[in-house]
Structure 1
């Protein structure tokens, strides 16, 4: 019997007990994932000592893993011997076929949208309990709204997130709402959340004052795939200004048409069926 066959046999024996395969430990991989997830949640560069303290592991435990991640291009070391995440995780996420196809289909439509609205726009997908910006096209006007590509925000802080949340199947939506409420980051009561999601489901979009930027109105619509499932949200953060030629209402209609055009490019039927959202695992998301 070869070493590979012996290893497979051992794995099968270990898996005889329920859940043992799921609990199988791979220490080096766990350390690498711990480092990536820890750094993804921070905005500033970190030292090895800060990593060690934050993870509750000794420097000796993580030193070689840090070197490996740096060598493979996942970490970047600064001149001050501090580390930050590179864009490699973000690049890997965009190599994922559904996201890649989504971006390719949306980009030409979004470029036309900014020209027809004088407003910036961005495309958003779900990432666990946050939303991730996967595409951004800026307004041609000198004063514009810009959001960093690859950044993420709490679901209910954005209209994009509310649109995506409203589109989830009931069981998934309920689980995510409960998780958001438990985190204390909802910013609203359960009845307020339910009313907001019900309004989106009835209207098919959300247009409301931004919860993050004063004077900005979010206009967000769902983008659907060939199964009629909601896979992304197309959002225009409307900024009123003298040089803007279009009203909020006209921008809403133009954005609605753009979302429909992207959906058609993805093969969406005229009548959308059940909803689900593209949800990126944490390891595929990269903050800027």
Structure 2
């Protein structure tokens, strides 16, 4: 990484492939910190962050102060340990497309949860991960739910595989390439392909959770006004004595909720059925 310039100006790097690139040391340090902290489960001191990034405390001190002042990092008043805040997540939700999706889905999900007596969540594809952008808890005292902002390997979630299955060929090819590079076994690759084919034929997935025993995921696609799949609405069905609504009935409710969210986004009913049941590319 380039050294910081004493005159504060950007440093031009050698031209490559006809393009001129520049190094902005302070920005690079800030991004290094944010990207590193995004994967840390525990709060860290400045010294620990500097050691992990192979930089000196002096190099990062003012950058971390700025990130804290702007709300990207936070720490308790009595602590010297930093955590990543949810500000990046909040900024992402201010994007018109994500905000429109959230506004369209939230009231539908809030109506679905008490009727189904189950939690539900909405996920979008972020690279090769399923990102949880909305979460509504079950009204029952005992519930299973996922954390807002959590990310999961797309192939290990019903939400991710539903989006994958109904996406364009180019998106599926990119995700297939990532799975291959990630060293997935032939059995795993075959399982994802088989699930995707079943989703394209049926239009949704009902699948035992790969993460939690006893939970059955009911996942339905969300389409936009162009007929593109943009998200998946998932009900992690957890059977219990207090839950009086059957799995089959919750499946019907989830499908209707998915159609309603898609309608709110401008997708026509006939178009939704065509895209969910017949899409191949």
TM-score tier by shorter-chain length is 0.7 to 0.9
Separation in structure 2 between the aligned mates of residue 258 and residue 133 of structure 1, nearest angstrom: 17
Three-state SS of the structure 2 residue aligned to 1:114 is helix
3-state SS, counterpart of residue 23 of structure 2: coil
Pair 1:201-2:200 in alignment: yes
1:63 matched to 2:43: no
Higher RCO, Cα 8 Å, sep 6+:
1
After TM superposition, list the pairs within 5 Å mapping 1:12-31 onto structure 2. Answer: 18-21=17-20, 23-31=21-29
SS for the counterpart of 2:58 is helix
Q: CA deviation at 1:123?
A: 0.5
- Secondary structure, counterpart of 1:126 in structure 2: strand
1:215-226 equivalence runs, <5 A: 215-226=214-225
Q: Is the 8 A contact 1:154 1:185 kept in 2?
A: no
Partner of 1:134: 133
Question: How far apart are residue 56 of structure 1 and its match?
Answer: 2.1
CA contact (8 A) 2:225 2:265 kept: yes
The within-5 A match list for 1:49-128 is 49-78=47-76, 79-128=78-127
Divergent runs of 4+, >3 A:
13-19, 184-188, 272-275
Q: Distance in 1 between matches of 2:130 and 2:185?
A: 14
Determine if contact 2:223/2:265 at 8 Å carries over to the other structure: yes
Which of 25, 38, 41 does residue 40 from structure 1 map onto? 38
CA contact (8 A) 1:169 1:274 kept: no
In the alignment, structure 1 segments of 5+ residues that lack a partner are: 1-9, 276-288
Unaligned runs of 5+ in 2: 1-9, 277-281
Question: Normalising to structure 2: TM-score of the pair?
Answer: 0.87
Query: Could you say what the CA RMSD is over the residues aligned between the two structures, in angstroms?
Result: 2.4
Aligned ranges for residues 114-263 of structure 1 at < 5 Å? 114-184=113-183, 188-263=187-262
Structure 2 Cα separation of the partners of residues 43 and 177 of structure 1 = 29
Cα displacement (A) at 1:105: 0.9
Deviation at 1:243, TM superposition (A): 1.7
Compute the displacement of 1:140 (Å). 1.1
TM-superposed deviation, 1:16? 8.3
Give aligned pairs, total: 264
